[in-house]
Structure 1
Amino acid sequence: MKILIARLNHETNTYSPVATPLESFSPRYGAQGYRAAKGTRTAAGAFIDLAEAVGAEIVVPVIAGANPSGRVAADAYTHLTDTIVAAAAGCDAVMLDLHGAMVAENSDDGEGELLQRLRQVLPDAPIAVALDLHGNITQPLIDHADIAVSFKTYPHIDMYETGEHAGRLLLEMIAGRVRPVMAWRRPPLVTHTLRSRTDEGAMQRAVALAKEAEKGGMLAVSILAGFGLADIPAPCISVIVVGDGDRRKADEVAERIAAQIWEEREGFTYRPDPLPTSIAMAAAAANATAEHRPVLLLDHGDNCMSGGTCDDMAVLHEALAQGLDGIAVGPVCDPEAVAQLIAAGVGASVTLNVGDKVAAPQLSVYPESKPLSGKVTAISDGEYVISGPTYTGQRIRMGRTVLLDTGAAKVIVTETPQEHWDLGIFTHIGVDPHAARFLILKSRMYCRPVFVPIAKSVIECDSEGVTSSRYEMFPFRNVSRPVYPLDKDTAWSASAG
């Protein structure tokens, strides 16, 4: 048996000014791709383990993934998908590790179009797809995949398990032990990412229903919150049910879960406090007890893993304006400032503009960079190894990194945008996050498994960057209306599909 295994991951924020060329994906081809995926806690890693366990011949055309950013460059999308399709001829089955919310300059449905092309080459071969919980599902994906399974955790710590689930069903299908059929519902509901965490609220209850339905006989049930910062026809929540031969039963499950989601639609919306209010809350939290643990200020309006620039300085400047001190913040992505700080050298006292240099024309945001004064206290290569539960063991390369100490704040400045996967983002350059009074993190969720345990409080801060939760900031032109919460009077019935 010959199985094609590929990984192509990108969550596209169509409002992000961060470019997504081919090099952003760090593509690995053939044997290099196999080695890049083998042994990883990804869906592709699980696919390889499953295929090897049954003695299959494995074809790995490409393993590629990029951090969330703007639309994928047309030539990058064409090249990567062409590479996968070209390798499909002669394969008996396909296992794909996809995101589900890829938008390219030449495609509003990156995954759906890829699957459609694969199906033309392999009209009868079974295709299994592992998806991110934030995938935006479309009809072509449902039409051309035999099996689709998404993560059930956010933060995502079940990537490998999701791949194992999807791949195992594919092998059971080939063996004739199951007959997968898929049912799908997509309520007109654009969720907020901060309401897709799976440890509380409406999303937790929806995922619990999915798990219950799997125990009740469904082969797989997935709740995909969607990714609302994509200006496409339906960046909406979805329910995908994979049944065993009985489409009617699968359809009933999809309808029932989607109906509950729609009934609880307000629970999938998030309304942030004004930034000055959030900073005042953080100050109060820090002073509430004598316990010396940091208060986390999560700058979710400039979140790297949703397409943020990591360049917005609103949270830090507001914190300084309100007199907060003992702050550690970073990474702030500013290659120009990094170069200037390195030229000044360790020990130098400097005044220079940091951050607020990247415009977001689609949102009519043209920031004005402000100066910071301080001492250059450390310079590093910006590398550390993740010890936390997500991407454990992966080496992170942030580019050249500098620590600027202003007295009130220790500011880590890097050459690239970065997520807070690990305490190493601070400790690698000599900053002890436990010793800070306040930690400003440009993160929504991935920081939580590592940073929440050391914190006395968590305050969510909306800097109104390109990953803001304020949907009124975003000029949605392609979204099919009405849709909740953009249109409060939206009506929908799960029985209507």
Structure 2
Amino acid sequence: MKILIARLNHETNTFSPVPTPLGAFAPAYGDAAYRAAKGTRTAAAAFIDLAEAAGADIVVPVIAGANPSGRVAAEAYTHLCDTIIAAAHGCDAVMLDLHGAMVAENSDDGEGDLLRRLRAVLPHAPVAVALDLHGNITQALVDHADIAVSFKTYPHVDMYETGAHAGRLLLDMIAGRVRPVMAWRRPPLITHTLRSRTDEGAMQRAVALAREAERDGMLAVSVLAGFGLADIAAPCLSVIVVGDGDPAKADEVASRIAAQAWAERDGFAYQAEPLSSSIARAAQLADSADRADARPVLLLDHGDNCMSGGTCDNMAVLHEALAQGLTGIAVGPVCDAEAVAALVDAGVGATITLPVGDKVALPQLEVYPQSRPLTGTVAAITDGEYTITGPTYTGQRIRMGRTALLDIGAAQIVVTETPQEHWDLGIFTHIGIDPHRARFLLLKSRMYCRPVFVPIARAVVECDGEGVTSSRYERFPFRRVSRPVYPLDGNVAWAG
């Protein structure tokens, strides 16, 4: 048996100005692709482990993943898909580690179009797909995959387990132990990412129903929150059910879970408070806390989150905090390669005045920020590298590019050459900041910081700045979305 295994991963924010060329994916091919995936906590690694245990021959044409950003360049998308399709000839089965929310310059349905091409080459080969919880599912994906399973956690800590689930079903299908049939529902519901966390609220209850249905005999049940910052036909919540030979039962389960999600649709909508109110509340939390509790207050700038396509250079939250007199702030990272170069040239110990951040325009949102100067001391310069200690991407080496620490008195600002998520305390400790000693930690993050930073914090304040990942959907000029859809429209009916 010859099994094709590949990873092609991108969550596309079509409103983001951050480009997505081929280089953003850091693609690895052939033997290098196998080595890049083997031993990681990804679905692709689980596929490899299962295929090797089954004694299969493995073809790994490409392992490629890019941080969320704008539409994937047409040349990059075509090249990566061509690489997978070229390797498919002669394969007996396919296991794909995809995201589900990829949009390219030449495709509004990146995964669906890839699977359509793959099915044309391998009309009868079983195909299993592992997906992100934020995938935007289409009919093409459902039509051309035999098995589709998504993450059940957000923050995502079950990537490997999802691959293992999908891969086991594929091998059982090949062995004749199961007969997968898929059903799906997609209510007209665009969720907010901050309401897709799986440890509370409507999303937690929907995932609980999915797990219950699996215990009751369904092979796999996935609730995908979708990714709303994509101007495509339906960036909506979906339910996918993989049943065993009984399409009617699978359809009933998909319909029932989707109906509950629709009934609780208000629970998937996030109501952001004004930024000035968030900062004032954070200051009050810091001032009113038990003086014996020296832990920091987290300021989460989810309006400029790089893992949703943010530029990581919007300074609205910091400037509001400074205007309200907050001190003891550790900030980072702010992505500003131009400022890094100036800080490096000045050298450690130098006092310097320079504009930091607010240099990337958001033309689709008609936001053209003006970078304001900051005066401070260059406190440290590093190569911007550290190793994640967990729980997400444990052991992975992070490379932020050259990194400088600017101390302006009220705040210490980590400035990097590339956008970065807060996977680990190392984003601060590697440059000499002890995050435990900060009064406030200003992070450009929604969720991935939480497993690491929430345990060291006294409180969390979500701050909706002016970036391209804002939760205020009214700021975004949706033109391709099929209307009516909740919450963009008032009266939306859905019969299931």
Answer whether TM exceeds 0.5 for this pair: yes
Q: Which amino acid aligns with 1:329?
A: V
Residue of structure 2 equivalent to 1:240 = 240
Residue of structure 1 equivalent to 2:364 = 362
Distance in 2 (alpha carbons) for counterparts of 1:430 and 1:232:
43
Q: Which amino acid aligns with 1:356?
A: D
Distance in 1 (alpha carbons) for counterparts of 2:465 and 2:336:
17
Distance in 1 (alpha carbons) for counterparts of 2:388 and 2:339:
26
What's the secondary structure of 1:87's corresponding residue? Answer: helix
Contact 1:5/1:94, CA 8 A, preserved across alignment: yes
What's the secondary structure of 2:88's corresponding residue? Answer: coil
Distance in 2 (alpha carbons) for counterparts of 1:267 and 1:23:
38
- Mapped pair 1:421 → 2:423: yes
- Mapped pair 1:200 → 2:204: no
What's the secondary structure of 2:64's corresponding residue? Answer: strand
Deviations 1:35-55 (A, max 9, x none): 000000000000000000011
- Mapped pair 1:488 → 2:490: yes
Contact 1:181/1:243, CA 8 A, preserved across alignment: yes
Residue of structure 1 equivalent to 2:461 = 459
- Mapped pair 1:446 → 2:478: no
- Mapped pair 1:5 → 2:19: no
What's the secondary structure of 1:58's corresponding residue? Answer: strand
Deviations 1:254-287 (A, max 9, x none): 0000000000000000010000000001001111
Distance in 2 (alpha carbons) for counterparts of 1:407 and 1:118:
57
Q: Which amino acid aligns with 2:311?
A: T
Deviations 1:18-47 (A, max 9, x none): 000000000000000000000000000000
Residue of structure 2 equivalent to 1:379 = 381
Residue of structure 2 equivalent to 1:395 = 397
1:20-169 mapped onto 2 (5 Å cutoff): 20-169=20-169
| Structural RMSD (CA) | 0.3
Task: Identify which of 333, 345, 348 aligns with 2:347.
Answer: 345
What's the secondary structure of 2:367's corresponding residue? Answer: coil
Deviations 1:74-115 (A, max 9, x none): 000000000000000000000000000000000000000000
Q: Which amino acid aligns with 1:328?
A: A
1:201-280 mapped onto 2 (5 Å cutoff): 201-280=201-280
Deviations 1:348-393 (A, max 9, x none): 0001000000001111010000011100010000000000211000
Contact 1:44/1:96, CA 8 A, preserved across alignment: yes
TM-fit CA distance, 1:464:
2.4
TM-fit CA distance, 1:493:
1.3
Residue of structure 2 equivalent to 1:172 = 172
Q: Which amino acid aligns with 1:185?
A: R
- Mapped pair 1:336 → 2:355: no
- What percent identity do the matched residue pairs reach? 81
Contact 1:7/1:65, CA 8 A, preserved across alignment: yes
What's the secondary structure of 2:442's corresponding residue? Answer: strand
Distance in 1 (alpha carbons) for counterparts of 2:490 and 2:151:
29
TM-fit CA distance, 1:488:
1.6
Q: Which amino acid aligns with 1:325?
A: T
Contact 1:464/1:470, CA 8 A, preserved across alignment: no
Distance in 2 (alpha carbons) for counterparts of 1:225 and 1:39:
28
1:400-411 mapped onto 2 (5 Å cutoff): 400-411=402-413
What's the secondary structure of 2:478's corresponding residue? Answer: coil
Q: Which amino acid aligns with 2:106?
A: N
Task: Identify which of 288, 292, 295 aligns with 2:294.
Answer: 292
TM-fit CA distance, 1:168:
0.3
Distance in 2 (alpha carbons) for counterparts of 1:322 and 1:287:
13
Contact 1:326/1:436, CA 8 A, preserved across alignment: yes
Gaps of 5+ in 1: none
Contact 1:69/1:307, CA 8 A, preserved across alignment: yes
Distance in 2 (alpha carbons) for counterparts of 1:386 and 1:281:
31
Contact 1:326/1:437, CA 8 A, preserved across alignment: yes
TM-fit CA distance, 1:146:
0.1
What's the secondary structure of 2:461's corresponding residue? Answer: strand
Distance in 2 (alpha carbons) for counterparts of 1:271 and 1:488:
15
Aligned length in residues: 494
Distance in 2 (alpha carbons) for counterparts of 1:94 and 1:142:
15
Contact 1:2/1:57, CA 8 A, preserved across alignment: yes
Gaps of 5+ in 2: none
